């Protein structure tokens, strides 16, 4: 638990090994642990440290883009509210060891081909219905549905059978062993099955979480109220949560500085200096970061079908300048997708590409190009626009003229999923902060079977599939496979990673107990205002 400062990378301990392949040992964890990598209490409540939790009050959260119901079962920059309305089966602690949520304990079969879940009793949905094993079965099948566009659909699809042992015990049968099942359990929100049709249009969001939806006002935000029947005794403390959409960075910062909002994760890095001058606000970064900023290349658009050209682009970007000037120094310049907390992280991969315009020009010349003109799509938000403009400048220095295509967040996400991107695009990706195999079987930019760049390789598929099914107890082999995946990504450069973005929280010092899970779902179970 560390309060971070610009350009001061810290990492979590490596994942605690789970015996996914054998042993059959029952893993029982007592109590519900919060994600304490999470956030330093020093940034949110130092003026009243030691104050007893206070019940009541409304927390106002400032966000820069609206909730998109159609992306409810995907992970995106609009997933902040998921854990407020819905629970998940498990939740990782600081060491990436799963802790109980709606599943209280679990045990693997000796061959790793099934897992038995013991489910929490006494849990009710917002409509008063009791949570049972049938809701877990529905949640898995829901993610298996291609319509949901869930990044972890491949992992959900490995569940080929269900065996109920009463209302609160369930066996999931697997087609083959996978080592990222707990990534699925933390990603997968548990919904009321009857409400899903209404949920994806924003009319009803019914879960078992600490807050219930009162109203969604498109373009304005979400209003949530306390779920009085929440299974965690005495929680939540807060009466209401208001998630307010404030697209303009200046207005968002003004809302925080004036006290109209008490929490945001959307302050641009270059604006954090201004926030630091406000005594009633604190800044804290999460150890695993907020995903990575990257530059994607459509490999079906000439000349990006030539990896030499893609490598030239990778050498042309000044990652350190991007980190310092655009992101305020919060994060880690990196040519690879992994945060320092990942088992796949190595310093050699991080520094594989540095800023070398001369080398970039030489590679372009060797590929037969002196000047190029390419389109670059980006999300029309201040921080994303600043990244795109920095890339435009760097690429111009090596003879690549870039035309920027600003796009709203929802449209960009749809193009990402449907492989509808132009020659180049820049966004942020997640999934590098959990089990490394999840990135390459789940994240849209990296998916070995169908990625946004339309890159395919039998070798890439083979390595990814082996990494996905390798027992976590085989640490040496897993590390070798992670190195192979990183090597392919760096050599092929269909995704050009730039910076592991710092997950920066700006909060009123009177707010305590707000945390994020590994998929950036906000938890306010224990949050209170003083």
pLDDT digits (tens, 9 = 90+) for 103-119: 999 999 998 899 999 99
430 pLDDT higher than 90 = no
Mean pLDDT computed over 249-263: 95
Buried b (16+ CB within 10 A) or exposed e, 89-120: bbbbbbebbbbbbbbbbbbbbeebbbbbbbbb
Task: Tell which residue, 69, 70, 67, 154, has the closest CA to residue 431.
Answer: 154
Q: Give the strands of the sheet with 400-407, arranged side by side.
A: 331-333, 495-501, 292-297, 424-429, 372-379, 400-407
Per the model's pLDDT, the better-predicted residue between 289 and 334 turns out to be 334
**pLDDT at position 26:** 36
Taking a C-beta distance cutoff of 8 angstroms, is the pair 131, 102 a contact?
yes
Buried b (16+ CB within 10 A) or exposed e, 36-54: ebbbbbebbbeeeeeeeee
**pLDDT at position 42:** 38
**pLDDT at position 259:** 95
The total of other beta-carbon atoms located within 10 Å of residue 346's CB is 15
Q: Which pLDDT tens digit goes with each residue over 127-141? A: 999 999 999 999 999
**pLDDT at position 37:** 43
**pLDDT at position 38:** 40
Task: Tell which residue, 421, 217, 219, has the closest CA to residue 304.
Answer: 421
**pLDDT at position 30:** 31
1 pLDDT higher than 50 = no
121 pLDDT higher than 50 = yes
> What confidence category does residue 54 fall into, taking pLDDT thresholds of 50, 70 and 90?
very high
434 pLDDT higher than 70 = yes
> What confidence category does residue 262 fall into, taking pLDDT thresholds of 50, 70 and 90?
very high
442 pLDDT higher than 60 = yes
> What confidence category does residue 14 fall into, taking pLDDT thresholds of 50, 70 and 90?
very low
What DSSP string describes 370-424?
S-EEEEEEEESSHHHHHHHHHHHHHHHHTTEEEEEEEE-HHHHHHHHHHT---SE
Task: Tell which residue, 231, 234, 388, has the closest CA to residue 322.
Answer: 388
**pLDDT at position 76:** 74
Q: Which pLDDT tens digit goes with each residue over 322-341? A: 999 888 888 899 999 998 88
Q: In the chain, what's the furthest Cα-to-Cα distance? A: 69
428 pLDDT higher than 60 = yes
Span of 3-12, 214-223, 298-307, 483-492 with lowest mean pLDDT: 3-12
The first and second tokens of residue 218, run together, are 């498109």
Distance CA 16, CA 4 (A): 24
> What confidence category does residue 271 fall into, taking pLDDT thresholds of 50, 70 and 90?
confident
- Determine the 3-state secondary structure of 54 from DSSP: coil
**pLDDT at position 473:** 62
pLDDT above 90 covers what percent of the chain? Answer: 69
The total of other beta-carbon atoms located within 10 Å of residue 32's CB is 16
Domains of the chain: 31-282+507-530 (3.40.190.10), 292-501 (3.10.105.10)
**pLDDT at position 527:** 97
Mean pLDDT of the chain: 88
Per the model's pLDDT, the better-predicted residue between 223 and 475 turns out to be 223
- Determine the 3-state secondary structure of 427 from DSSP: strand
**pLDDT at position 34:** 38
Q: Which pLDDT tens digit goes with each residue over 498-528? A: 999 878 899 999 999 999 888 889 999 999 9
Distance CA 119, CA 100 (A): 9
Span of 50-54, 65-69, 121-125, 233-237 with lowest mean pLDDT: 50-54
Distance CA 42, CA 109 (A): 43
Q: Which pLDDT tens digit goes with each residue over 231-250? A: 999 999 999 999 999 999 89
Distance CA 494, CA 449 (A): 14
The first and second tokens of residue 121, run together, are 């009793």
Q: Give the strands of the sheet with 263-264, arranged side by side.
A: 211-217, 221-226, 240-245, 58-63, 263-264, 503-508, 281-286
Per the model's pLDDT, the better-predicted residue between 8 and 137 turns out to be 137
Mean pLDDT computed over 218-243: 97
278 pLDDT higher than 50 = yes
Local structure of residue 59 (DSSP, 8 states): E
Mean pLDDT computed over 193-210: 94
Q: Which pLDDT tens digit goes with each residue over 153-162? A: 999 999 999 9
The total of other beta-carbon atoms located within 10 Å of residue 218's CB is 11
352 pLDDT higher than 90 = yes
36 pLDDT higher than 60 = no
450 pLDDT higher than 70 = yes
The first and second tokens of residue 498, run together, are 């730039």
Q: For tokens 């070398």, name the residue.
A: 356
Instruction: Give the CB-side neighbour count of residue 486, counting CA atoms within 13 A.
Output: 26
**pLDDT at position 45:** 41
């Amino acid at each position: 638990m560390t309060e971070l400062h610009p350009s001061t990378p810290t990492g979590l301990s490596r994942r605690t090994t789970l015996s996914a392949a054998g042993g059959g040992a029952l893993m029982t964890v007592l109590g519900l642990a919060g994600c304490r990598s999470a956030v330093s209490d020093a940034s949110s409540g130092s003026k009243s440290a030691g104050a007893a939790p206070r019940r009541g009050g409304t927390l106002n959260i400032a966000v820069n883009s609206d909730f998109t119901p159609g992306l409810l079962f995907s992970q995106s920059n609009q997933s902040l509210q998921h854990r407020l309305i819905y629970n998940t089966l498990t939740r990782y602690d600081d060491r990436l060891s799963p802790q109980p949520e709606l599943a209280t304990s679990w045990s693997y079969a000796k061959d790793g081909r099934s897992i038995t879940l013991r489910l929490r009793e006494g849990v009710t949905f917002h409509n008063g219905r009791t949570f049972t094993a049938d809701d877990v079965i529905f949640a898995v099948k829901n993610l298996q549905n291609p319509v949901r566009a869930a990044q972890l659909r491949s992992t959900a699809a490995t569940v080929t059978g269900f065996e109920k042992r009463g209302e609160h015990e369930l066996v999931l049968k697997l087609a083959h062993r996978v080592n990222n099942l707990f990534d699925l359990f933390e990603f997968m929100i548990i919904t009321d099955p009857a409400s899903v049709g209404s949920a994806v249009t924003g009319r009803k969001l019914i879960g078992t979480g600490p807050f219930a939806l009162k109203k969604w006002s498109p373009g304005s935000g979400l209003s949530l109220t306390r779920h009085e029947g929440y299974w965690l005794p005495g929680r939540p403390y807060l009466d209401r949560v208001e998630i307010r959409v404030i697209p303009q960075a200046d207005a968002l910062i003004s809302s925080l500085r004036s006290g109209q909002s008490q929490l945001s994760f959307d302050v641009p890095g270059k604006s954090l200096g201004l926030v630091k001058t406000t005594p009633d606000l604190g800044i804290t970064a999460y150890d695993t970061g907020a995903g990575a900023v990257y530059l994607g290349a459509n490999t079906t658009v000439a000349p990006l079908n030539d990896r030499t050209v893609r490598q030239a682009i990778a050498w042309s970007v000044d990652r350190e300048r991007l980190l310092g000037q655009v992101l305020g120094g919060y994060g880690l310049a990196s040519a690879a997708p992994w945060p320092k907390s990942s088992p796949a992280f190595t310093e050699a991969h991080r520094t594989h590409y540095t800023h070398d315009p001369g080398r970039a020009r030489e590679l372009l010349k060797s590929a037969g190009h002196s000047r190029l003109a390419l389109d670059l799509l980006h999300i029309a938000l201040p921080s994303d626009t600043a990244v795109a403009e920095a890339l435009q400048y760097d690429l111009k220095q090596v003879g690549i003229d870039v035309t920027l295509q600003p796009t709203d967040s929802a449209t960009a996400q749809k193009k990402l999923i449907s492989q509808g991107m132009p020659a180049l695009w820049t966004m942020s990706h997640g999934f590098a902060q959990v089990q490394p195999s999840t990135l390459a079987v789940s994240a849209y930019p990296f998916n070995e079977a169908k990625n946004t760049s339309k890159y395919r390789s039998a070798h890439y598929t083979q390595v990814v599939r082996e990494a996905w099914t390798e027992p976590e107890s085989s640490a040496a082999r897993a590390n070798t496979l992670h190195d192979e995946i990183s090597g392919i990504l760096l050599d092929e450069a269909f995704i050009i990673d730039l910076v592991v973005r710092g997950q920066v929280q700006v909060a009123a010092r009177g707010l305590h107990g707000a945390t994020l899970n590994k998929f950036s779902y906000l938890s306010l179970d224990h949050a209170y205002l003083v």
